[in-house]
Amino acid sequence: MTHPPFVFDQWANAHQQRIEQVLAQTLPAETVLPERLHAAMRYAVLGGGKRVRALLSYAAAELAETTLERADAAAAAVELIHAFSLVHDDMPCMDDDDLRRGKPSCHKQYDDATALLVGDALQSLAFECLVDTGAPQALKQVQVLANATGSRGMCGGQSIDLQSTGKRLSRSALETMHQYKTGALIEAAALLGAFAANETAPQLINTLMQYSQHMGLAFQVVDDILDATADTQTLGKTAGKDALQDKSTYVSLLGLDEAKSLVSHLHTQTLALLAAFGAQADPLRGIARFICERPF
């Protein structure tokens, strides 16, 4: 009996649909008090995005040989944290961006106060859905996610970013900023998926940490390349913002060609990391290609 060949697009589509349904069930209905807040939370989370973080959770769960059902809470939690960060980042006092995933951002569709509360409540909901499963490693999941979200993770990265605008950063300072700002949550996405299993070998966790460190970096370099080269319609968010806001990026620091070859180098390294694994690493290989080969 031979397995059918792995087709990443099919796998990604199926899991994107799955996480969309899981999120729709996790978020309180618009008919539940307070209705306006719940409507705004659903607006901010549902119906958009590539769900890269959820895909990572599912792919890591597959590597850890646990079921999709058990990985749902992990995938939902990381997407809820990601959505909360987008809502707050778009607010006037932060990046002041009117457009997100091709739609008015949350504070434009609703109002600033509601957007503030949407982000706050999405963060709580992420932790709530992790513990509601009662999974054996749920405490570890809460710990990893809280750490990746807070001042030594995503929020800290935003703060470093604010302090850095208009300054020319060294490459190492830029890497530190992005490790906090996006790398920590990408790593958490993978680890939470693996911790959905009853137990997880340290060696597996080690591979996933290296994988996600490479992918977090690649993801950001590609983001910088796209911001510099794609148009607003293609991106679904305002393009060319980095240059406009005089932000240090991998493109401004390395130039476009070297930025592209860094992505290609990270892709190769990542595939080497996974060489010891069989078909159960195919989703992680597919995600690596998807991240590194987004059209540019």
DSSP states along 197-223: SS---HHHHHHHHHHHHHHHHHHHHHH
Q: Which two tokens stand for residue 114?
A: 């509601």
Name the residue nearer to its own copies (CB basis): 41 or 228. 41
Residues 132-171 that bind its own copies (CB under 8 A): 132, 134, 138-139, 142-143, 146-147, 149-153, 155-156, 158-160, 162-163
Q: How far apart (Å, rounded) are the C-alpha atoms in residues 160 and 177?
A: 6
Which residues, at least 6 apart from 194, have a Cβ–Cβ distance to it below 8 Å? Answer: 60, 61, 63, 64, 200, 204, 205, 208
Contacting range for its own copies; rule: CB under 8 A; set: 27-35, 206-214, 219-227, 239-247: 27-35
**Contact between 185 and 154 (Cβ < 8 Å):** yes
- What separation in angstroms does the CA of 13 have from each of 53, 54, 59, 160? 14, 12, 13, 35
Q: How far apart (Å, rounded) are the C-alpha atoms in residues 69 and 108?
A: 35
Name the 3-class secondary structure at 103: strand
Q: Which two tokens stand for residue 235?
A: 């991106």
Q: How far is the CB of 51 from its own copies (least distance, A)?
A: 22
Q: Does residue 91 belong to the site contacting its own copies (CB under 8 A)?
A: yes
Q: How far is the CB of 249 from its own copies (least distance, A)?
A: 19
**Contact between 296 and 225 (Cβ < 8 Å):** yes
Residues 199-228 that bind its own copies (CB under 8 A): none
Name the residue nearer to its own copies (CB basis): 165 or 261. 165
Contacting range for its own copies; rule: CB under 8 A; set: 124-132, 209-217, 236-244, 275-283: 124-132
Q: How far is the CB of 266 from its own copies (least distance, A)?
A: 24
**Which residue among 1, 4, 9, 113 contacts its own copies (CB under 8 A)?**
113
**Which residue among 7, 14, 29, 32 contacts its own copies (CB under 8 A)?**
32
Q: Does residue 41 belong to the site contacting its own copies (CB under 8 A)?
A: yes
For its own copies, the binding residues (CB under 8 A) are 28, 32-34, 36-38, 41, 84, 88, 91, 93-94, 111-114, 116-117, 119-121, 123-125, 127-128, 130-132, 134, 138-139, 142-143, 146-147, 149-153, 155-156, 158-160, 162-163, 176, 180
